Amino acid sequence: MSSSSTIESVLVENRVFPPDARATEGARIAGMAAYEALCQRAASDFEGFWADQARANVVWSKPFTRTLDESRAPFYKWFDDGELNASANCLDKHIGTPVENKTAIVFEADDGTVTSVTYKELLARVSQFANALKTQGIAKGDRVIIYMPMTIEGVVAMQACARIGATHSVVFGGFSAKALQERIIDAGAKAVVTANFQMRGGKELPLKAIVDDAIALGGCDTLQTVLVYERTASAWNRVEGRDKTFTEVLQGQSSECAPQPVGAEHPLFILYTSGSTGKPKGVQHATGGYLLWAKLTMDWTFDIRPEDVFWCTADIGWITGHTYVAYGPLAAGATQVVFEGIPTFPHAGRFWQMIEKHKVSIFYTAPTAIRSLIKAADSDEKVHPKNWDLGSLRILGSVGEPINPEAWMWYHVNVGREKCPIVDTFWQTETGGHVITPLPGATPLVPGSCTLPLPGIMAAIVDETGKDIPNGSGGMLVIKRPWPSMIRTIWNDPERFKKSYFPEEMGGTIYLAGDGAVRSADRGYFRITGRIDDVLNVSGHRLGTMEIESALVAKTDLVAEAAVVGRPDDVTGEAVCAFVVLKRSRPTGEEAKAIAAELRNWVAKEIGPIAKPKDIRFGDNLPKTRSGKIMRRLLRSIAKGEAITQDTSTLENPAILEQLAQSN
Ligand code: 6R9
């Protein structure tokens, strides 16, 4: 089978792929009985189970005596009288072991240039940068924004913050000045670490200039320093007194820096993610539980072995790049590939070429990337994975959104050559790491299903009142007991934390994931059906519909009202569709196209290019109920091109539906 079109479409998925001998042999969790034994242990001695894991997987500078504190639930605390340092757990731990001279990171730049560092070298670089941060007045508890491209330096900056106990907040390099400014202010950041430019797809894109724009928007009162990594030789504008280059601050710094021990609950990082209101949430993670999870899931989900070459394609600006680039692989002592560029440059066979070149054995990417590479391979044989030797691969992973069975099968056949288990890992920024996922040496796989919860994760599907729903019927995904790497709070907003994740109607202590799910009648396997709130998933990136609406109406000279919904898209999973009412009359034809283009660019400027609406439709108004609520379910049908079959009797202005369906 060479193309996606030859793979039959499946309505009801009943293919099962049991783990083969290659995956089971020597696996940490070999076979379902081993998995069930762990689940059993967690169920019968929950705290004892986690205490054992935390002792076995984390190096504590001061051992903990309390495992779980539920006295202020849902503000759970884990291992809270213990002390550790996350960077020491990723680097120092390996010194004096065979890992110290092992390659930690193989970095492939956008243009194909390869550089690498050993664990020992990485420790020296992190320590030097940590000393530089200290010289700049950054201390334990301070917040540092990292706005960096995918580089070794980006990982170094994160690790260096962890080393001195500063809390980092990485902002994805595709976010706009406005989004960056909001995060600098909300986090109360003292420093921004950035690069002059980033290289993507052969293009040099500014980063430092966007930092300048963000600061110029005002309000960044806590900010004192901007540290600039000179990624390229191109000139950039320096603000005297505030901006310093890496070379300047690293000059003369010692490559030794004792790791600062912090309490287990000390905030390791804040990562902003979209929620169901216009304002992104600063998801706060604790050092101890998070680090445990990063290490443990490398062992459990990827069954990582000393000879593996691990490659997670996610950017460090997302949670996947935190747990499975900046922390997990290092805590596991693995060799990993870090890639600066994009999957389609200089050609859409780049991923396959890199797997061959670096002998990658564990490859972890997103369904949207797979789907776009299927499309590319279908139209150009030369970039099909069959052109490369992918024999080094042992395990494949998927993350970020549901993977459709067709894409799963293509990945399995053409990339995994029918030999590699695919771990379809369900998790979220808030969960810190995998929570529902197959185990490569144990779980029989079903395409499109993330299968079963990890041991100790009490996942369930319930109705609005928290009552369990039987297998075979859809409901809301929850996790009934806390787990070590869960979100601790929303930075600066504990009330929103409680409201968003721990609904009163369910008792106030059960974690609500925000996704719909269904368990299969036969195996009890979970299948995620998508978000149940106003969050879209475009190419695996979370976008709040409210965020995009706020951005649109912020164009006050033009836009009166806007409603944003998602519609299914072959490549990106979901696409953003905006319905807009202008302050002037409804445009048509060329004029509508020009205004739509203007609005797209505006959204890119306000949030980032990833949030640009794919469709913009103009109406004289929007479908509303008599009480003035926008009827989004109707807009969703229109966006999909479906006939309206829903009840429209509560609609104030039914004629608008026709207009919106026609306009484009
Ligand atoms: C890790 C990450 C979280 C949302 C989540 C869900 C979707 C992630 C998935 C998946 C189905 C999977 N999601 N993994 N849906 N199957 N394997 O992506 O975090 O950016 O916070 O997004 O992504 O909808 O709620 P984040």
Residue 400 assigned as binding residue: yes
- In the three-class reduction of DSSP (H, G, I as helix; E, B as strand; rest coil), residue 507 is classed as coil
Q: With a 6 A CB cut-off, is 422 part of the ligand 1 pocket? A: no
CA of 118 to the centre of ligand 1 (A): 32
**Ligand 1 atom having least distance to the Cα of 424:** 17
CA of 203 to the centre of ligand 1 (A): 29
Q: Kindly state the average pLDDT of the residues 49-69.
A: 98
The beta-carbon contacts of 348-352 under 8 Å, at least 24 apart in sequence, are 348/372, 348/373, 348/376, 348/377, 348/380, 348/383, 349/377, 349/382, 349/383, 349/384, 349/385, 349/387, 349/388, 351/313, 352/383, 352/385, 352/387, 352/388, 352/390, 352/415
With pLDDT > 70 as the criterion, what percentage of the chain qualifies?
98
Q: With a 6 A CB cut-off, is 401 part of the ligand 1 pocket? A: yes
Q: Which residue is it, tokens 């060329």?
A: 590
Distance, CA of 336 to CA of 311 (rounded, Å) = 6
- In the three-class reduction of DSSP (H, G, I as helix; E, B as strand; rest coil), residue 15 is classed as coil
pLDDT attached to residue 533: 87
Q: Kindly state the average pLDDT of the residues 371-388.
A: 96
Residue 200 assigned as binding residue: yes
Q: Kindly state the average pLDDT of the residues 563-573.
A: 93
Q: With a 6 A CB cut-off, is 476 part of the ligand 1 pocket? A: no
CA of 533 to the centre of ligand 1 (A): 13
Residue 4 assigned as binding residue: no
* CA-closest residue to ligand 1 atom 6: 401
Q: Which residue is it, tokens 């290490």?
A: 295
pLDDT attached to residue 193: 98
With pLDDT > 90 as the criterion, what percentage of the chain qualifies?
87
pLDDT over threshold 70, residue 576: yes
* CA-closest residue to ligand 1 atom 18: 400
Sign of CA dihedral 363, 298, 148, 314: positive
Residue 232 assigned as binding residue: no
Averaged confidence pLDDT in the chain? 94
pLDDT attached to residue 132: 98
83/658: higher pLDDT: 83
Structure tokens at 664: 């484009």
The verdict on pTM exceeding 0.80 is yes
List Cα–Cα distances, 274 to 138, 182, 425, in angstroms: 28, 13, 20
Is residue 141 within 8 A of residue 167, CB to CB? The reply is yes
Q: Which amino acid is at 311?
A: W
519 conformational bin, left if phi > 0, alpha if psi -120 to 50, beta if neither:
beta
- As beta bridge partners, residue 489 has 284
pLDDT attached to residue 9: 36
pLDDT over threshold 80, residue 8: no
Mutate to test the pocket of ligand 1, among 283, 316, 318, 426 (most ligand atoms within 8 A of CB): 426
Secondary structure (DSSP) of 17-72 = B---HHHHTT-SS-SHHHHHHHHHHHHHSHHHHHHHHHHHH---SB--S--EE-TT
Give per-residue burial for 387-422: e unless 16+ CB within 10 Å, then b. ebebebbbbbbbbbbbbbbbbbbbbbbbbbeeebbb
The model's pLDDT over 490-511, given as tens digits with 9 standing for 90+, comes to 999 999 999 999 999 999 999 9
Residue 542 assigned as binding residue: yes
Is residue 175 within 8 A of residue 208, CB to CB? The reply is no
Distance, CA of 313 to CA of 298 (rounded, Å) = 15
CA of 589 to the centre of ligand 1 (A): 38
* CA-closest residue to ligand 1 atom 8: 400
pLDDT band for position 385 (cuts 50, 70, 90): very high
Q: Kindly state the average pLDDT of the residues 642-647.
A: 80
- In the three-class reduction of DSSP (H, G, I as helix; E, B as strand; rest coil), residue 655 is classed as helix
Q: With a 6 A CB cut-off, is 456 part of the ligand 1 pocket? A: no
Mutate to test the pocket of ligand 1, among 445, 537, 574 (most ligand atoms within 8 A of CB): 537
The model's pLDDT over 386-405, given as tens digits with 9 standing for 90+, comes to 999 999 999 999 999 999 99
Q: Kindly state the average pLDDT of the residues 652-658.
A: 84
Quote the DSSP letter at residue 661. Answer: H
The model's pLDDT over 76-115, given as tens digits with 9 standing for 90+, comes to 999 999 999 999 999 999 999 999 999 999 999 999 999 9
pLDDT attached to residue 662: 78
Residue 402 assigned as binding residue: yes
Is residue 300 within 8 A of residue 439, CB to CB? The reply is yes
Q: Kindly state the average pLDDT of the residues 6-26.
A: 72
Residue 424 assigned as binding residue: yes
* Alpha-helix runs per DSSP H in 243-342: 246-250, 287-300, 319-321, 328-331
Distance, CA of 308 to CA of 302 (rounded, Å) = 10
pLDDT attached to residue 648: 77
pLDDT over threshold 50, residue 216: yes
Mutate to test the pocket of ligand 1, among 425, 461, 542 (most ligand atoms within 8 A of CB): 542
pLDDT attached to residue 356: 98
CA angle (311 as vertex; 309, 313 as ends), nearest 5:
170
7/71: higher pLDDT: 71
Mutate to test the pocket of ligand 1, among 293, 320, 371, 427 (most ligand atoms within 8 A of CB): 427
Q: With a 6 A CB cut-off, is 399 part of the ligand 1 pocket? A: yes
CA of 286 to the centre of ligand 1 (A): 20
CA of 537 to the centre of ligand 1 (A): 8
The lowest-confidence range among 174-188, 497-511, 513-527, 531-545 is 531-545
Q: With a 6 A CB cut-off, is 402 part of the ligand 1 pocket? A: yes
CA of 427 to the centre of ligand 1 (A): 5
Distance, CA of 377 to CA of 618 (rounded, Å) = 36
Give per-residue burial for 49-72: e unless 16+ CB within 10 Å, then b. bbbebbbebbebeeebeebbbeee
Residue 539 assigned as binding residue: yes
pLDDT band for position 646 (cuts 50, 70, 90): confident
Q: Kindly state the average pLDDT of the residues 371-393.
A: 96
**Ligand 1 atom having least distance to the Cα of 429:** 21
- In the three-class reduction of DSSP (H, G, I as helix; E, B as strand; rest coil), residue 162 is classed as helix
Distance, CA of 477 to CA of 515 (rounded, Å) = 6
pLDDT attached to residue 12: 56
Q: Which residue is it, tokens 């009142």?
A: 465
* CA-closest residue to ligand 1 atom 11: 402
Most confident of the ranges 1-10, 282-291, 640-649: 282-291
pLDDT attached to residue 658: 87
- As beta bridge partners, residue 178 has none
Of 489, 620, 437, nearest in space to 77 by CA? 489
- Radius of gyration of the CA atoms of the chain, in A: 24
Residue 201 assigned as binding residue: yes
pLDDT band for position 20 (cuts 50, 70, 90): confident
- As beta bridge partners, residue 576 has 566
Residue 55 assigned as binding residue: no
pLDDT attached to residue 663: 63
φ, ψ of residue 255 in degrees (nearest 5): -95, 20
Residue 473 assigned as binding residue: no
Is residue 487 within 8 A of residue 442, CB to CB? The reply is no
φ, ψ of residue 663 in degrees (nearest 5): -70, 145
Distance, CA of 196 to CA of 230 (rounded, Å) = 5
Q: With a 6 A CB cut-off, is 267 part of the ligand 1 pocket? A: no
Is residue 630 within 8 A of residue 622, CB to CB? The reply is yes
CA of 528 to the centre of ligand 1 (A): 9
pLDDT attached to residue 664: 57
φ, ψ of residue 120 in degrees (nearest 5): -60, -45
Distance, CA of 235 to CA of 249 (rounded, Å) = 19
CA of 316 to the centre of ligand 1 (A): 16
pLDDT over threshold 50, residue 514: yes
Is residue 103 within 8 A of residue 117, CB to CB? The reply is yes
Peptide bond preceding 74 in cis form (omega within 30 of 0): yes
pLDDT over threshold 90, residue 274: no
pLDDT band for position 661 (cuts 50, 70, 90): confident
* CA-closest residue to ligand 1 atom 15: 401
Residue 18 assigned as binding residue: no
- As beta bridge partners, residue 365 has 398
Distance, CA of 96 to CA of 496 (rounded, Å) = 45
pLDDT over threshold 80, residue 428: yes
**Ligand 1 atom having least distance to the Cα of 528:** 11
Distance, CA of 427 to CA of 424 (rounded, Å) = 10
Q: Is 44 exposed, middle or buried (0-12, 13-18, 19+ CB in 10 A)?
A: exposed
CA angle (630 as vertex; 624, 632 as ends), nearest 5:
120
Residue 82 assigned as binding residue: no
Distance, CA of 633 to CA of 180 (rounded, Å) = 32
Residue 539 burial (CB count, 10 A): 20
Q: Is 381 exposed, middle or buried (0-12, 13-18, 19+ CB in 10 A)?
A: exposed
Q: With a 6 A CB cut-off, is 613 part of the ligand 1 pocket? A: no
* CA-closest residue to ligand 1 atom 10: 401
Secondary structure (DSSP) of 484-499 = TTS--EETT-HHHHHH
